[in-house]
Structures are given as C-alpha cells and as structure tokens.
Amino acid sequence: MKTFLSISAIIALSPLAAFMTIPYGPAPVQTRFIPAVPRLEYSQWRTGPIEVAKVFGRSQGCQEADISLIQDVSTAANRAGLDPRLVAAEVAVESGCNPMAISQRGAVGLLQVHVKTWHQKYDFATDNLFNTRTNLRVGTQVLAGYIKTYGVREGVHHYNGIGIGCETCPESYSDRVLALAGRK
C-alpha cells in the first residue's frame, strides 16, 4: 500500500516548518504607518528673507547687500509686526543699505532714525544707531507706531517727515517706498 503524504504534511515535517506559514483563507491585510506631512503655509518668518532680497535687488544701492543684512531686516520687520518688504523698501530709500549713513537733518543709519526726535524714548548712549540690529530695532518700532496710528501710506509719510508730516517732504516719498515694496 502506497502512502501519499499531502504537501502540507511534508512541509510540517520538514525542518523549515517553524519558519513557514501557510495562510488559510484570504491573505492578511498589512497596514503601513504613513506619517502626516505638515502643511506648509505662508509665513513671513520663512519667506521674509526672500522678499527682502527681492526688494534689495530692485534698489540701486542695495543690490550688493549681504545675507546677514537681509536676514536682519527680515527679523526686525517680523518682530515689529511689519511687512519685511516694506522695511526693506524703507532701508533702500532712506540709506541705500549704508549702515553708516547720516542725513543733513541728523538721521542716522539704515533706517535714518532721527536722534533729536527720539532721544527721550530711546537711550542713544547705550543704543548705538550705527549698529545694524539696533538701528533696525529702533527704526521698525518707530515705523510700526506710525503705521498703527496713521495707516500704511500716512505712517510711511510721517516716518519720512521726522514724525510731524513734514511739509517740505515730497508727497511722492510714500509712493516710492510702497512701489518698491510691491504694495499700492
């Protein structure tokens, strides 16, 4: 009498049986964990330096600005709650990206902070306006205050007019800054 072993009996008796399984029924469903990818959204903290570089690229005196200045302008603008493009345009128009600029009216640095106007609010014995970060911090705080009080266009005009809406300041100043910033 011949004995025929079934395939499953042969496999069960083999030394590899411990490592092999024969599925009964439908194959088990394997699930893989796919991590959720965070959705990237617009953030001025992320895109600010790029926007500042674009504005500087359109400005005659700022085309050779280094990455540290671009980052400093973006950071100061974001900390003051301002559009980095607007602050970059102010820097370009006011000083042409020259941190050592001094105007005939006594305004100093990148954002041309007027010392006589702001000496009571800021201690310029310790706040060196020729320091890029200090000048940007003070200048953006002043500009943010004007914009909060007067709105963007008039705030920019007051910033140019030493805070008083200067009659000798050109009306086209605000238009020039806002156009360079890509705003209307």
Confidence of residue 90 (pLDDT cuts 50, 70, 90): very high
> What's the pLDDT score for residue 106?
86
Query: Among 63, 114, 122, 118, which residue's Cα sits nearest to residue 88?
Result: 63
Mean pLDDT, rounded, for 82-93: 96
Say what the pLDDT of residue 26 is.
Answer: 65
| pLDDT at residue 29, rounded to an integer | 65
* Dihedral (CA of 141, 51, 157, 153) sign: negative
CATH class of 44-181: mainly alpha
Confidence of residue 24 (pLDDT cuts 50, 70, 90): low
Least confident window among 17-21, 24-28, 129-133 = 17-21
Domain boundaries, the chain: 44-181
131-156 pLDDT, tens digit each: 999 999 999 999 999 999 999 998 99
Per this entry, what is the length of the chain? 184
Which token pair is 124?
């310029």
Q: Give 77's contacts (C-beta < 8 A, 6+ positions apart).
A: 44, 48, 52, 83, 84, 86, 87, 88, 140
The confidence score (pLDDT) of residue 27 equals 64
Q: What is the mean pLDDT of the chain?
A: 82
- Residue pair 147/155 in contact (Cβ under 8 Å)? The answer is yes
Written as one letter, the residue type at 5 is: L
Tens digits of residue pLDDT in 54-78? 999 999 889 999 999 999 999 999 9
Q: Is the pLDDT of residue 88 over 70?
A: yes
Between CA 159 and CA 174 the distance in angstroms is 9
Q: CA-to-CA distance for 161 and 75, rounded, in angstroms?
A: 25
Bigger pLDDT: 43 vs 59: 59
The answer to whether residues 141 and 80 touch, using CB atoms and an 8 Å cutoff, is yes
Whether the pTM exceeds 0.75: the reply is: no
Q: Which long-range contacts (CB under 8 A, 24 or more apart) does 162-168 make?
A: 162/105, 162/107, 162/114, 162/117, 163/114, 163/117
pLDDT at 28 over 80: no
